[in-house]
């Protein structure tokens, strides 16, 4: 097993327009914007921030970071 620093901790960045700002329900699933998959949280956060800042004028547009590595290896997520 590799060390935490060298492990791939995959993250997905995606977003879309919500039905209302207080929900996490997308208006049209066919229009989701899949930004990409990134090898670590820092890279994913940078991509998320760029997309979030680019859509700041649309209150219903939201972008998210999903920790894919936690879905792939749920037991590993609990370890330090």
What is the domain partition of the chain in residue ranges? 40-80
Tens digits of residue pLDDT in 31-70: 999 999 999 999 999 999 999 999 999 999 999 999 999 8
- Strands (DSSP E) contained in 3-76 are 11-17, 33-38, 61-67
pTM of the full predicted structure? 0.81
Considering only CA atoms, which of 30, 15, 19 is closest in space to residue 60? 19
Tokens of 67: 């920790």
Q: How confident is the model at residue 72 (pLDDT cuts 50, 70, 90)?
A: confident
Say how far apart CA 52 and CA 29 lie, in whole Å: 18
């Amino acid at each position: 097993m590799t060390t935490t620093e060298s492990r791939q901790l995959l993250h997905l960045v995606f977003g879309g327009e919500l039905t209302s700002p207080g929900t996490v329900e997308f208006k049209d699933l066919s229009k989701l914007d899949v930004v990409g998959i990134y090898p670590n949280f820092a890279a994913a956060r940078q991509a998320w921030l760029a997309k979030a800042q680019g859509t700041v004028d649309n209150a219903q547009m939201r972008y998210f970071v999903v920790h894919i590595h936690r879905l792939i290896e749920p037991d590993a997520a609990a370890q330090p």
